[in-house]
Amino acid sequence: MKTILSYIEKDGEEYIYVDFESVYVRVNLNLFEEFNNIRLSEQPTSIPSSLIDVINIDGTKFYLYTSKSNILYLTNNVNKYCKVRQNLKCKVTDDYICFYGLFTDVTHKIEGFDKIFLNGEVVGQVKRRSSEKKLKDYAIIRIAMKDILESERIHNNLRIGKSQDLSVPVLMKTHHEGMNYWVKKKVGDNLIIVRSIINGFKIRITNIKFEEEYKKVNMIKDSFAYALSKLIGIRNINLMFEKETDRACESGFYAFEKIMERQRQEKLKSKTYFVIDKNNEEYPRLKSLYGKNIIEKYSFRHYLYIYLCRYFISSELSNHVINPRLYIRRLNECIRSKPLIFLQHGIMFSKPVDNPAAANFRKDNETVNFYKNIISSDLEATQFYKCGFEDEDLIKCGLPKFDLAKMDDDADKIMVMLTYRYWEESFVMDEDAIKETTYFKAYMRILEAFDKNGLLDRLIISCHPKFTDFLNNLNPKYAKCVENDIAKGLAESKIFITDYSSASYDAHYRGAYIIYYWEEKDYLIKCYRAIPPINENNCDGVPVFSPEELVEEVKYAISNNYIMDEKYEKRYSKINEFHDGKNGDRLLDELSDLDVI
């Protein structure tokens, strides 16, 4: 008996080939819908109901199986073969997470369909309440809390089955659109949440740090703020904030200052407030300068104005108005509904916007109500088009924070800032595994090359905090190169080196000599699973492909007084069209025309 299930990509189309007994079929995956089940044979095969083969394509598994009537099928929904029925409830204690209720394992026709998989690892076995016929379909699924707390993942997947290939996700019925929560429990310093995926039934067990918003006093503030907002109604209010409402150093705060300045000169149509944590060292100064226009994070006004405001204006996505990971349904629904004027961190012309990790940045994203996006050029706009945005969704005025971007008069440092490699995040967090990451090895090659050439005293690196901790133990003289304040590093640096960080455009604006370190270009593109928009033909800096080339280019830049070739300046002017220091004024004029301020 010949069995083949194979995959091929050709001319932009993806195909699965099935060759089984007398059946030969080519299935176009571009036309294969989610949870599809395709009948492949007209006549019964000689094989009774069984799983024939499994193929994994970019994380999606396709199953070739025969039904009870011996008909051959191809599906991407394992339950088409397993036919598991679930009707479960959940309970959480300090020691266990338990699911209990109806869980039929394919009328027991698959032997051993009872293993509990947490993130692919077996952590237990399904227990049956009784072996009697009427009760054997009722199960207890128990996961030790220590397995959740020890997991490196924030969001944990739960499946039941015989093996990873032959398993089904644990499901619970939902009653609301969006994300549903069944249990939230504080365990030590953590908050354990049993929830659904967005608009789905699959279970996720989320493990996050217990934050202020989950304290009873703040939950009460939220409830009262919601009730009061229903009486008052939406007001002509704008709420501004930056990363985790914990700082005031990006475009969000600079734009707020510009609005306050204009408000002193003329009467504006709306009132604008900036939210910041009172523990920020700048809070007392800002409060004394702007009074009631500064709102303390977690205050009653903070919650109330989230419900009352018309717009969010921020260099972060909307959920940063409280916390990036927020699991409070009513508050979440309100935040998602508010139109966001997105000021951006940096010019979006480095990392590919169509990579899987950037899936949330799309016009059709249900978690963010994008109203306007601030851009710096027609060239940058092409990246927004890839995400479904149109010209009417964009404001071309330049990033407000660039108005303040300056280089120190005595700047002489060389700054290295490698891009965030999200696929290695869990290893970077582990001090035993960090030295095996490409992130670590790339930085070490650069550090060693600079050390060998007597340039270490001028080098500063911006890297993951865990990497800094590791360097302290590994080599103190390398650890001295670390600068965690990116703005300070940019101000001190005459040369800026990166692979795909958008901070290069900030550095270029300040007058730095830009070098793109692309030793691992092919590897990064493979891991991004998308091609970055910047390349050798349009980059605004000198591309190099080895530590040796990098050091030679640095030496050349120093000897040439940091003067870049004119072609790189011309390319930069296409990426960023604004260099007059008036980005903030243009932004406010646009917001005024839109009746936002």
Residue 304: name the closest of 344, 273, 260 by CA: 273
Model confidence pLDDT, tens digit, residues 455-495? 999 999 998 777 777 777 778 888 889 998 889 999 999 99
**Residue-level pLDDT at 110:** 65
Residue 267 confidence (pLDDT) above 80: yes
User: What is the C-alpha to C-alpha distance for residues 388 and 360, in angstroms, rounded to an integer?
Assistant: 12
N-term to C-term CA, the chain: 73
Same fold yes or no, 214-403 and 407-575: yes
Q: Please name the helix (run of DSSP H) or strand (run of DSSP E) that holds residue 587, with its range, or none.
A: helix 583-593
Beta strands in 162-287 (DSSP E): 167-169, 181-187, 190-196, 203-209, 237-241, 271-276
Model confidence pLDDT, tens digit, residues 380-423? 999 999 999 999 999 999 999 999 999 999 999 999 999 888 88
Whose tokens are 């692979």? That residue is 499
346 to each of 332, 405, 511, 525, how far by Cα in Å? Answer: 26, 12, 16, 20
Residue 30 DSSP class: G
User: What is the C-alpha to C-alpha distance for residues 438 and 418, in angstroms, rounded to an integer?
Assistant: 11
pLDDT range class, residue 453, cuts 50, 70, 90? very high
DSSP string for 54-111: EEEETTEEEEEEE-TT--EEEES-THHHH--EEEEEEEE-SSEEEEEEEEE-GGG-ST
Model confidence pLDDT, tens digit, residues 21-54? 878 888 888 888 877 889 998 888 888 888 888 9
Go through 482-513 and write b for each residue having 16 or more CB atoms within 10 A of its CB, e for each that does not: bbeeeeebbbbbbbbbbbbbbbbbbbbbbebb
Q: Which residues contact 263 (CB under 8 A, 6 or more apart)?
A: 272
pLDDT range class, residue 278, cuts 50, 70, 90? very high
**Residue-level pLDDT at 2:** 55
Q: Which residues contact 325 (CB under 8 A, 6 or more apart)?
A: 154, 206, 208, 319
Q: Which two tokens stand for residue 319?
A: 């959920």
Share of the chain above pLDDT 70, in %: 97
**Residue-level pLDDT at 183:** 92
Residue 256 confidence (pLDDT) above 80: yes
User: What is the C-alpha to C-alpha distance for residues 271 and 125, in angstroms, rounded to an integer?
Assistant: 58
361 and 348 in contact (C-beta within 8 Å)?
no
Share of the chain above pLDDT 90, in %: 67
At the second CATH level, the architecture of 407-575 is 3-Layer(aba) Sandwich (3.40)
Residue 320 confidence (pLDDT) above 60: yes
Determine which of 1-5, 71-75, 440-444 has the lowest per-residue pLDDT on average. 1-5
List the 294-296 sheet strands across, edge first: 294-296, 271-276, 237-241, 311-314, 339-342, 369-375, 394-396
Which amino acid makes up residue 238? N
Residue 108 confidence (pLDDT) above 70: no
462 and 481 in contact (C-beta within 8 Å)?
no
Residue 56 confidence (pLDDT) above 60: yes
The mean predicted confidence, pLDDT, of the chain is: 91
Go through 315-352 and write b for each residue having 16 or more CB atoms within 10 A of its CB, e for each that does not: bbbbbbbbbeebbbeebbebbbebbbbbbbbbbbbbbb
549 and 497 in contact (C-beta within 8 Å)?
no
Model confidence pLDDT, tens digit, residues 423-434? 887 777 676 788
**Residue-level pLDDT at 343:** 96
Count of CB atoms situated within 10 Å of the CB of 155: 15
Model confidence pLDDT, tens digit, residues 321-334? 999 889 999 999 99
At the second CATH level, the architecture of 214-403 is 3-Layer(aba) Sandwich (3.40)
Query: Looking at residues 181-196, what average pLDDT do you find?
Result: 93
**Residue-level pLDDT at 529:** 86
202 and 169 in contact (C-beta within 8 Å)?
yes
Query: Looking at residues 538-561, what average pLDDT do you find?
Result: 97
Tell how far CA 144 is from the center of its chain. 28
Query: Looking at residues 193-217, what average pLDDT do you find?
Result: 92
**Residue-level pLDDT at 6:** 85
Q: Which two tokens stand for residue 44?
A: 């019964």
- HSE of 449, CA atoms in CB hemisphere, 13 A: 17
**Helices (DSSP H) in 311-437: which residue ranges?**
329-337, 378-386, 425-428
The domain spans of the chain are 3-80, 83-210, 214-403, 407-575
pLDDT higher for 502 or 8? 502
User: What is the C-alpha to C-alpha distance for residues 579 and 2, in angstroms, rounded to an integer?
Assistant: 67
Residue 1 confidence (pLDDT) above 50: no
Model confidence pLDDT, tens digit, residues 351-387? 999 887 777 788 988 889 999 999 999 999 999 999 9
